[in-house]
Amino acid sequence: MTLSPIVTVASPEDDLFLIPAGFLRGPVAALQTVSTPEALPVAGNRRTLFTRVVVAARSPDGTGQRFLLTLAELDTLIARAAAPVRAVLEYRLDALSRPARPFAGLSAPPGRPLVMGILNVTPDSFSDGGHHNTTEAAIAHGLRLLDEGADIIDIGGESTRPGSAPVAAAEEIGRVVPVIRALSERGAVVSVDTRNAATMEASLAAGARIINDVTALTGDPRSGDVIRATRTPVILMHMQGEPGTMQDAPSYRDALLDVASWLQARVRTCVGLGLPLHDICVDPGLGFGKDLEHNMRLCAEAGAFPGLGTPVLMAGSRKRFIGALTGEDQPLNRLGGSIAMALKAAREGALMVRVHDVAQTLQALRVARALDDLTATEES
């Protein structure tokens, strides 16, 4: 096995990532001693261990490479690597295995991620546009999501579906602020899904506690100032291009490396704005400037993102790529694929999943956890 390309990457922090592999779960995990170099827990979860890693590296010529290593082999690589590479690999491995710190003051319940319920106060969102586009209907749906067990309600007033046009900030504010205020007053933890600084400010004043920005604070030159002034926890999503044209011809040399390195840079920016890492969440942006192959690659290698040292949000609910895989044209009929996405994200260390169908997703997550608990108890 030739490892030299790994230790000659141009920028280790931007070009070198670890993807957990060789998983042990449930009763098998219960029988395994959790100690390097044999196995490590995924995000501190001793019901899911990883025994190998895929080293994803961008070689000096810009191409992506993958190397499958046992944890013992990774230790050897770390010991032999130059200091900058060694530091990055040690950081990534620690970030993948340690328990996540609370995001926006919220800790995930044992054995499952936080569930973020989607509330679109829009006439044209890809899945539920027009269903909740009055204040009264939106508040009622938000309360239903809370009753179903949503940990966070994500409220958006601008559709960012492929081909959508921008909405003026004043119109967006008029849509979301009354809903944010009403749900916050009822005890909901609210995030606002916006790329406009004015909407961020109005939403925070109305009670929102999290900013979820599909442009990762690049869409409005004042967004960074809002974060610096308020220290509000933020979700940074990757998007290639802008909603109106992002699906015309998305292109990547290596989807994982390109997206992860871009998000790493945005994380550094937010640290510079005064946010701690645990209040910066990254979202690889499934369906935003990605074709089917890009989305599948990001899903397959999503376990790398916790290695950035931040919480991770996965948002695949009802997305078009699920329809492409299943032949299901109607977003409302993509529940099975959406749940499969949530279960995979949960097992690979995501702190949050963003979903339309809160009750069904929670049911699946709880059953998966119970099965692991039951079999581990019976057979350990």
What residues are annotated to the active site? 319, 354
| CA atoms of 315 and 287, how far apart (whole Å) | 9
Q: Exposed, middle or buried, 251 (CB in 10 Å: 0-12/13-18/19+)?
A: exposed
DSSP assignment of 152-178, as one string?
Answer: EEEEESS--STTPPP--HHHHHHHHHH
The tokens describing 80, both together, are 């032999």
**Of 91, 246, 83, 234, nearest to 166 (Cα)?**
246
Q: Which residues, in sequence order, are bridge partners of residue 317?
A: none
Provide the strand spans (E) within 43-127: 45-58, 64-70, 114-120
| CA atoms of 323 and 341, how far apart (whole Å) | 13
| CA atoms of 363 and 380, how far apart (whole Å) | 25
The tokens describing 233, both together, are 């926890």
- 169-188 exposure pattern, b = at least 16 Cβ within 10 A, e = fewer: beebbebbbbbbbbbbeeeb
**Of 47, 54, 65, nearest to 93 (Cα)?**
54
8 Å CB contact between 52 and 71: yes
- 194-203 exposure pattern, b = at least 16 Cβ within 10 A, e = fewer: bbbbbbbbbb
Angle at 90 between CA 107 and CA 259, to 5 degrees: 70
**Of 218, 216, 292, 217, nearest to 255 (Cα)?**
292
8 Å CB contact between 339 and 115: no
The arrangement of strands across the sheet holding 190-193 comes to: 280-283, 234-237, 210-213, 190-193, 152-156, 114-120, 352-355, 313-314
| CA atoms of 15 and 6, how far apart (whole Å) | 9
